[in-house]
Amino acid sequence: MAKARTVGVAVDFSPTSKLALRWAVDNLINEGDRIILINVQPPSSDHTRKKLFEDTGTPLVPLEELREINFLKQYGIARDAEVIDILDTASNTKRAKAVAKVYWGDPREKLCKAVQDLKLDSLVVGSRGLGPIKRVLLGSVSKYAVINASCPVTVVKGPSSSTSRH
């Protein structure tokens, strides 16, 4: 049996990040692997736990706690039934262990920090498909991760929002 791996999935609860999570569960996660949801909150968010964990990110949070409304309020994360459902499926069908970790700051830097901290074997990120202007102004999180992360990075693209005209 292959060694269990640790796969990080960047999740901001956007449709594209949920697509990336679903893709990871369907195509990458094997029996017994560990999935770590990595959520990066903006540095401006001011939640009770931020002061405790701003430098290191939160401790790993088990799936059971992700269901609890009190936990989610403490970290400023919306309770997302679709994400919980995807993780339940991974847990039930592949016996994967799902946990989450919250960071505060620049998502590009924090995702690369997470790769190091959590000793990820692989990182999966969604691509929002920003237009060329926004990409220049904001910088692409997925591109930054591909270039700078010390593990393989898979970029899952969302459905194309541009309509082609003939």
What are the 10-residue block averages of pLDDT along the chain, 166 residues in total?
Answer: 87 90 95 94 72 80 79 72 91 92 90 95 84 57 89 84 42
Whether 40 is covered by a domain: the verdict is yes
Domain interval for residue 94? 6-157
Whether 43 is covered by a domain: the verdict is yes
Whether 164 is covered by a domain: the verdict is no
CATH number of the CATH domain containing 150: 3.40.50.620
Contact (Cβ atoms closer than 8 angstroms) between residue 20 and residue 9: yes
Whether 32 is covered by a domain: the verdict is yes
Report pTM. 0.85
Helix 141-148, helix 107-117: angle, nearest 10: 40
Sheet of 34-41: strand order equals 61-62, 97-104, 34-41, 6-10, 122-127, 153-157
Whether 108 is covered by a domain: the verdict is yes
Whether 111 is covered by a domain: the verdict is yes
Whether 162 is covered by a domain: the verdict is no
Whether 15 is covered by a domain: the verdict is yes
- Total domains, the chain: 1
Residue 165's pLDDT is 38
Residue 157's pLDDT is 83
Q: Describe the chain by its helix, strand, coil percentages, rounded to 5.
A: 40, 20, 40
